[in-house]
Amino acid sequence: MTEGTSHGEPQTQTLETGVAIALFEKGRAELGKVISGQTEMIDQALLTLLCGGHALVEGVPGVAKTLTVKTLARFLLLDFRRVQGTPDMMPADILGTSVFSLKTNEFSFHRGPVFTQFLLADEINRMPPRTQAALLESMEERQVTMDGECHALDEYFTVFATQNPLEFEGTYPLPEAQLDRFLLKIQAGYPSAAEERTVLERHHAMTEAVHLENAPIESVSFAELAAARQEVRRVRVEAAMFDYLLAVVRRTREWPAVSLGASPRAAAGLLIVAKGYAARDGRDYLIPDDVKAAALPCLRHRLTLKPEVELEGFDPDRVIRDILAATPLPN
């Protein structure tokens, strides 16, 4: 990588290989064959994989949350498993269990669906707290400890979890420790009128929605995904940008409307996602706009607002925007 100039001088150079840009462009095109609109959700889902994190996808039923995740797994050629959250689900339903064999008089470990590359935890807030907690170790350390023995997970192991923000019957809100392990919280909204018309036309042409999942998708190779991840890691960060990013994170802990601010893990997550936005835009250096773009999906699920603030109609996104507006930009 060639050396760039300081932030005081404009830079126009792009990354050496441009694999990250190509992956985003191809991802939008290929997923667009199945998903109408939802460009922001697709971009943030791709960012999650490029940054090596996990994502919580929140949206009302029927806005293609699950379909997007399943199509993304096909696009990236990742081994895919899905678990459906239910109130009676046990940790063994995700992790696996030890089974005694009468033939060998020994216990053997039968691996659960967590032993995959891409795990979809559908309606995760329907799982009881004990089962939700079963994912904590695997999400943070990419391993499962069973009967005192550690079992390593794949280096590409990624969790995408979905939840409906409106239903409360039979649901268990995710605790702060669980939320903090999600790199991004992606919000899936309604499509525009034109996009929704495209959805209807596709359903009419293919008769059944399940046929959309079998649409021809041109996948990317592991080598392309690995090269794109390397581009993200190589994005340079000047000292002033470290200070700016930390100022944003630390201000969340002091903001009057916030009772629980962002953690140091959140700061590290904000940095890698901001670098992902820089790589997506073809830059090998970080700018304040990258931090601003990453702030909402990285921090919205990590802030706990004071009850009186929520009663006034504030939400985390609005508070984060206020914090960004109040934080001086670096020179």
Identity of the amino acid at 293: A
- Residue-wise pLDDT for 53-84, tens only, equals 999 999 888 888 888 999 999 999 899 999 99
SS3 of 217-268: CCCCCHHHHHHHHHHHHHCECCHHHHHHHHHHHHHHHHCCCEEECCCHHHHH
For the chain (length 331 residues), average pLDDT per consecutive 10? 39 59 92 86 94 94 87 91 93 87 77 94 92 91 88 93 77 87 93 87 67 75 92 95 97 95 95 96 94 97 92 92 96 79
Task: Collapse the DSSP code of 51 into the 3-class scheme (helix H, G, I; strand E, B; otherwise coil) and give the result.
Answer: coil
- Return d(Cα 94, Cα 111) in angstroms, integer: 9
Nearest to 183, CA basis, from 257, 114, 265: 265
Task: Collapse the DSSP code of 161 into the 3-class scheme (helix H, G, I; strand E, B; otherwise coil) and give the result.
Answer: strand
How many Å is the Cα radius of gyration of the chain?
21
What's the pLDDT at 84? 93
What's the pLDDT at 23? 93
Q: Name the packing angle between helices 39-50 and 65-75 (round to 10°).
A: 50
Which CATH number describes the domain made up of 235-331? 1.10.8.80
Kindly list the distances between the CA atom of residue 185 and the CA atoms of 58, 160, 268, in Å, as whole numbers in the listed order. Answer: 7, 10, 15
Residue 4, both tokens: 């760039």
Phi, psi of 235 (to 5 degrees): -60, 130
Identity of the amino acid at 39: T
8 Å CB contact between 190 and 153: no
What's the pLDDT at 12? 42
Q: Which CATH architecture has domain 13-234?
A: 3-Layer(aba) Sandwich (3.40)
Provide the percentage of residues in the chain whose pLDDT is more than 90: 61
What's the pLDDT at 213? 61
What's the pLDDT at 189? 86
Nearest to 261, CA basis, from 307, 318, 306: 306
- Return d(Cα 189, Cα 226) in angstroms, integer: 30
What's the pLDDT at 285? 94
What's the pLDDT at 37? 80
Domain boundaries, the chain: 13-234, 235-331
Nearest to 294, CA basis, from 314, 313, 276: 276
Pairing of β 158-163 and β 118-122: parallel
Kindly list the distances between the CA atom of residue 59 and the CA atoms of 36, 164, 226, 242, 301, in Å, as whole numbers in the listed order. Answer: 16, 5, 30, 33, 14
Nearest to 191, CA basis, from 70, 39, 24, 67: 39
- Residue-wise pLDDT for 75-119, tens only, equals 998 999 999 999 999 999 999 888 877 777 777 788 999 999 999
